Structure 1
Amino acid sequence: MSNLLDVLLIADAMPVEPVKNYLHLTLLTMGLLALVTTIWWQTDKESYEEVTEELPITAFEKLEVWGMLNVLVSDGPTYSLTARGSRQAIQNVKVRQRGKWLKMGSGFFFWHRQYDLLLTLTTPNLSKLDVSGACTVQLSGFRELPALDIDITGASNVSLEGEAQLLNIDITGASRLSLIGRGSILAADLTGASTLHALQYPVEEATVEVTGACTAQIYATRILKAEATGASKVHYQGEPSVHFESSGAGSIKKV
């Protein structure tokens, strides 16, 4: 009994000030934590809000797109580039110019919803397009281009609505190119598991080489030169003079 009284007397004799200080420190820490959390949440929320920004560019003739971008390229009297998407996604876009080249790219920032980003590019002139990665690129409104080179690698999806007297195409990987319009001469080289849809792009002369497991659909009115190796296929429309070579299971067919 005496021991219990001694303990109670000691506890009663402990100073109150340290306890108050501890409680004050705890409350202050919790308040600061709540404030930091609120600021972080607000900042993170703002970084994902959709905005539209004008990105400065100057004149160019050649365009390179890489990474994981969605780009709409249209014919117009001036050079302009507009980005629409989250602030974070726009900040992740890299745009630089070297000589006649305009280069745009991004990493695979799934966390930052890069797939919601749309880049709209206007240019009065385009002679070359290089696309790599997993991009989606649409070209529209181009008329009477003297020549256009299109190189695609990776798993990209590219479409062209327009006219070019000479169209050179090189596709590697598992990419797809769709053409709508018309031209004079088309030369295409496909490797891997790529696809070329050009039945709505009639040309006078077409030269096509497909290797691997590719498919090329061509509309030629005068001359078609085709070579297919592996399990590749060439489908064509029109009434051209056909010169065809194949090896393996390569084939050509009028559709």
Structure 2
Amino acid sequence: MKHIFLIALIGLSSVLNAQQVFHDKDAEVRQVGDFHAIEVSSAIDLRLSTGSENALAVSAPDAELRAGIRTEVQNGVLKIWFESKKWFKGKAGARVYVAAKNLSRLRASGACDVTVSGELNVKELSIDMSGASDFKGTVKANSINAELSGASDINIKGEVKNINIHCSGASDFKGYDMIADNCKAQASGASGIRLTVNQEISAVASGASDIHYAGDAKMVDVKASGASNISKKSAT
């Protein structure tokens, strides 16, 4: 009985601590192992931050829905999804908070929203958004590789030395406040790319897509076809 009571107290403490840290009355802390990548799906709202240690908490309007949010580390990948039998009931209001110590890859699919709290500081980062998923936040990195498809959006600020961007299927990369030294950009299928580049940019646009850049970059290997446009942003 004492053992059961102690477990209950630990569980209650985790809930209360999470509620205080995240200012979320429904938050509950979970243990998480080491990971370098995150894969999130099932229309979950992911709040992401840089931390000195990896940490995780889940939030939903009631305990049953919180239990339906699955979090599991497999081969260094933190996988976050909603249990299938609770999908339609629980997808609204499902939120996961993650602090990552060493993040190198982020993949979101199935109408997820990823929001960075503060500034995400990484060496290299691969961002893959698909199925109407969105990313918003500030990132500082040496290199970024961004893949967007299926009407997904990235709204990003920060600084990066080298960035590769590939947008397809009516996706948008909105990054005039992302300052890059060098950029390789490819847009297709009515997609759009916006960012600031100061050294070199190479760009390919097709299928009624647009690539616009600010900054002093030299254009190299530029090709636009099929009612597409590649141009420097006009000074205002």
Is this contact kept in 1: 2:188–2:207, CA < 8 A? yes
Amino acid at match of 1:66: S
Are 2:223 and 1:248 aligned? no
Within the candidate set 69, 75, 86, 1:93 is matched to 69
Contact 1:70/1:115, CA 8 A, preserved across alignment: no
Q: Which moved more, 1:208-217 or 1:93-102?
A: 93-102
Q: Cα gap change, 1:90/1:197 in structure 2, threshold over 3 Å: closer, same or farther? A: same
Q: What does residue 59 of structure 1 align with?
A: 34
Give the Å deviation of 1:118.
Answer: 1.9
Partner of 2:165: 188
SS of alignment partner, residue 96 of structure 2: strand
Deviation at 1:142, TM superposition (A): 4.4
Q: CA deviation at 1:130?
A: 0.7
Residue matched to 1:7: none
Q: Are the equivalent residues in 2 in contact too, given 1:140–1:162 (CA < 8 A)?
A: no
1:120 to 74, 97, 118: 97
Indicate the percent of aligned positions where both proteins have the same amino acid.
Answer: 25
Q: Does 1:152 align with 2:141?
A: no
Contact 2:58 2:69 in 1 (8 A): no
How many residue pairs get aligned? The number is 205
Seen in structure 2, the aligned counterparts of structure 1 residues 125 and 67 have a Cα distance that, compared at 3 Å, is same
Q: Which residue in 1 is equivalent to 2:80?
A: 104
Q: Which runs of 5+ in 1 are unaligned?
A: 1-49
Deviation of 1:203 (Å): 0.6
Deviation at 1:88, TM superposition (A): 2.4
1:141 to partner: Cα distance: 3.8
Residue 144 of structure 1 and its aligned partner are, at CA, apart by 4.7
Higher helix fraction: Structure 1 or Structure 2? 1
Structure-2 separation of matches of 1:117 and 1:245: 42
Q: Distance in 2 between matches of 1:206 and 1:183?
A: 10
Distance in 1, matches of 2:101 and 2:204, equals 35
Q: d(CA) in 2 for partners of 1:230 and 1:95?
A: 38
Q: What's the offset of the Cα at 1:202?
A: 0.6
Secondary structure of 1:203's aligned partner: strand
Amino acid at match of 1:241: K
Aligned counterparts of 1:223 and 1:141: Cα–Cα separation in 2:
29
Paired AA for residue 118 in structure 1: R
| TM-score, reference length from structure 1 | 0.76
What is the TM-score when the length of structure 2 is the normalising length? 0.82
SS for the counterpart of 1:57 is coil
Secondary structure of 1:116 counterpart: coil
Q: Structure 1 runs of 4+ off > 6 angstroms?
A: none
2:51 to 67, 76, 85: 76
Contact 1:221 1:238 in 2 (8 A): yes
* Paired letter, 2:50: D
The whole-number CA distance in structure 1 between the counterparts of 2:227 and 2:216 is: 24
Larger Rg: 1
Distance across 1 between alignment mates of 2:107 and 2:120: 20
Contact 1:144–1:165 at 8 Å: present in 2 too?
no
The change in CA–CA distance for 1:196 and 1:174 in structure 2 (over 3 A counts) is same
Q: Per the alignment, do residues 127 and 248 of structure 1 end up closer, same or farther by CA in structure 2, a change over 3 Å counting? A: same
What displacement does 1:242 show? 0.9
C-alpha spacing 1:143/1:84, structure 2 compared with 1 (3 Å): closer
Kept in 2, the 8 Å contact 1:72–1:138? The answer is: yes
| Contact 2:49–2:120 (CA under 8 A) maintained in structure 1 | no
1:228-243 aligned at under 5 Å gives the runs 228-243=205-220
CA contact (8 A) 2:181 2:199 kept: yes
Q: Distance in 2 between matches of 1:130 and 1:84?
A: 20
How far is the alpha carbon of 1:160 from its aligned partner? 3.0
For residues 185-244 of structure 1, the C-alpha deviation after alignment (integer angstroms, 9 at most, x for no partner) is: 010011110000110011110000001100000210010111000100001101110132
